[in-house]
Structure 1
Amino acid sequence: MRGRKMKKRTRREKGFTLVEILVALTILGLALAAISITFQSQSKSFSIQEQVSSMQIGGALALSRIAQEVRMAGYGVPAGTSPITGISDGAGGGPDSFTIVANLQASTFLSSDAAANANSVPVEDVTQFSNVSAGTELTILDPLRNLIETNSFASYDAGTSRITLQNNLSAQVPEGSYIGVSPENITYSIDSSDPNHPFLSRNGDVMAADIEDLQVAYGEDDNLDGLVDAWRNVPNNPGNILAVRISIVARSRYPEQGASYSLNGVENGRNFGPDGYRRRVYTTTVKLRNLLL
């Protein structure tokens, strides 16, 4: 080792420095935050789309069913009986309510005369009564819709196409007369007992959830010429109603945080919002075909 200094060999340690680890953790944290924000945004968007879709389907189906039933108003109802009753124009722009009178079940017509005191009648389509229970009340109308009598269903015979009654006929029933299950009253209204989730009610049962408003206008034939002369929120004479314009307001099931939506009222109903609920109006006009015969 003469005149020579010993050189100390150093070996570089393998691994990451603390600074490198901190930088990596920071980048990872930012990436996870971005992923979380994206997920939350997509989840919120999906939830909104799901609510909007449910609102649209529910509103459209509810209006379609109401229209189908209102179109039958007056069917199987004796002449001189109003097919629409219980009309209520909601106070202060609140929801309306109304009742239709109609037979939505079995009915047919006599294929030939039935004599007084007979306990069965010949009919055109006896199979209409295949699901009618014994004891169900029946209404019998002449071809001009005048009431002949009410009776009770006993049974039917598909072979002879006859309906047997529980009581003998009190009078002769001519060919072409109507016989059917007695008409029922069906009331449509809004139930807001749970203000967070109001629903469209049919005789007290849920017809469609998250329906906030029902507004109705009645087309009246004032001069009895078979044409609608005026639309009114409260009819002057329910017997002159030829058509009904029905509007419902469907809304999202839950409010959207941070959002602010408004909706102008329909007919003489109130305005909605601003709040976080999305809403949509569905409207249809129904002709009461059983009054146009």
Structure 2
Amino acid sequence: MTRLFPGRQRQQGFSLVEIMVALTLGLVLLGGAITLYAGSKDSYRLQENIAGMQENARFAIHALRRDVEMAGYPLVNDIVPFVAATTTNGNGAVSDQITIQYLSRAPATRDCLGNNIAAESPIINRYFIGEGNDLRCQGNNNDAHQSLVEDIHNMQALYGIDDDNDSTANRYVRADQVGAGNWGRVVSLRVALLVASNGDINATQQAGSISLLDTEIDAPDDNRLYRVFTTTIPLRNRIP
């Protein structure tokens, strides 16, 4: 006898529950991949900003060192007083200014603005932090000045005084603490720069204050990264 109604065949495919589980697992994996990508991007941006800060600090310190090492050239006798390098003290968060003086060598050399200075004429370069938070330089007492390095937010300076005539600094003081009779014993300049990252990197807020040598300033409340770079520069023309 032929059966008119054959037996049911087993259905093929996935159930609704299986599909929902698969979709959920897929979303979890996708979320993990997105998180990993975002973390890698943030890490790359952080490293890029740190590298930029280090490069800005290196360039700023190089510019200062190049001039400070020439300060007081040539050695000046007691008849004509000649201040090799001076700073204008800031108050709190206000930056110091560094003024460097020396004589142009033959052939003629340039000031920090690129102006040609005749041989045996004084070169006077003034370094300071501009309103745009950049290291600027003003050459030979001209009103004109130009930006050298960006994202430099503060600069502080101390003078190293040699008290025992061994050409090594025994103590570091601010410009207004040197004393009129001690300028001839200044053998080095210590400079601290507060450098900021170029971009917003959602940095952890720094509580309290930041130390630059003997000065405390309030920590910025933005999302940029800040670091202090310090260097000590000898005044070679003051060291026998």
Could you say which residue in structure 1 is the equivalent of 2:118? 137
Deviation at 1:271, TM superposition (A): 3.1
1:18 and 1:291, CA in 2 relative to 1: closer, same or farther beyond 3 A? same
Within-5 A mapping of 1:80-119: 80-85=81-86, 87-103=87-103, 106-107=105-106
Within-5 A mapping of 1:115-264: 128=107, 137-139=118-120, 182-191=121-130, 193-194=131-132, 198-203=133-138, 204-220=145-161, 228=169, 230-234=171-175, 235-237=178-180, 239-240=183-184, 241-257=186-202, 259-262=204-207, 264=210
Deviation string 1:19-56 (CA, Å, 9 cap, x unpaired) is 33333222211111110011111111111111112212
Could you say which residue in structure 1 is the equivalent of 2:8? 10
Q: List alignment gaps of at least 5 residues for structure 1.
A: 108-127, 140-181
SS of 2:237's partner is helix
SS of 1:270's partner is strand
How many residue pairs get matched?
A: 220
Deviation at 1:72, TM superposition (A): 0.4
Correspondence 1:67 to 2:65: yes
1:98 and 1:75, CA in 2 relative to 1: closer, same or farther beyond 3 A? same
Deviation string 1:222-277 (CA, Å, 9 cap, x unpaired) is 79886646432123237423321111122222344261235531233223427444
Could you say which residue in structure 1 is the equivalent of 2:113? none
Question: Which residue type is aligned with residue 158 of structure 2?
Answer: A
Q: Larger % of helix: which?
A: 2
TM-score (norm 1): 0.63
1:228 and 1:28, CA in 2 relative to 1: closer, same or farther beyond 3 A? closer
Correspondence 1:23 to 2:4: no
Correspondence 1:288 to 2:227: no
1:229 and 1:27, CA in 2 relative to 1: closer, same or farther beyond 3 A? closer
Within-5 A mapping of 1:31-70: 31-70=29-68
1:130 and 1:49, CA in 2 relative to 1: closer, same or farther beyond 3 A? closer
SS of 1:260's partner is coil
Q: List alignment gaps of at least 5 residues for structure 2.
A: 111-115, 139-144
| In structure 2, distance between residues paired with 1:256 and 1:49 | 10
SS of 1:265's partner is strand
1:25 and 1:224, CA in 2 relative to 1: closer, same or farther beyond 3 A? closer
Deviation at 1:202, TM superposition (A): 2.2
SS of 1:90's partner is coil
State the Cα RMSD in Å.
3.2
Could you say which residue in structure 2 is the equivalent of 1:142? none
| In structure 2, distance between residues paired with 1:226 and 1:12 | 98
TM-score (norm 2): 0.75
| In structure 2, distance between residues paired with 1:16 and 1:129 | 87
| In structure 2, distance between residues paired with 1:226 and 1:8 | 110
| In structure 2, distance between residues paired with 1:15 and 1:37 | 33
Deviation at 1:190, TM superposition (A): 1.3
Q: 1:95, 1:269 within 8 Å by CA — same for their partners in 2? A: no
Moved more, 242-251 or 221-230: 221-230
Deviation string 1:72-126 (CA, Å, 9 cap, x unpaired) is 01125754221224x21111242111110124x642xxxxxxxxxxxxxxxxxxx
1:210 and 1:287, CA in 2 relative to 1: closer, same or farther beyond 3 A? same
1:136 and 1:208, CA in 2 relative to 1: closer, same or farther beyond 3 A? closer
Could you say which residue in structure 2 is the equivalent of 1:266? 212
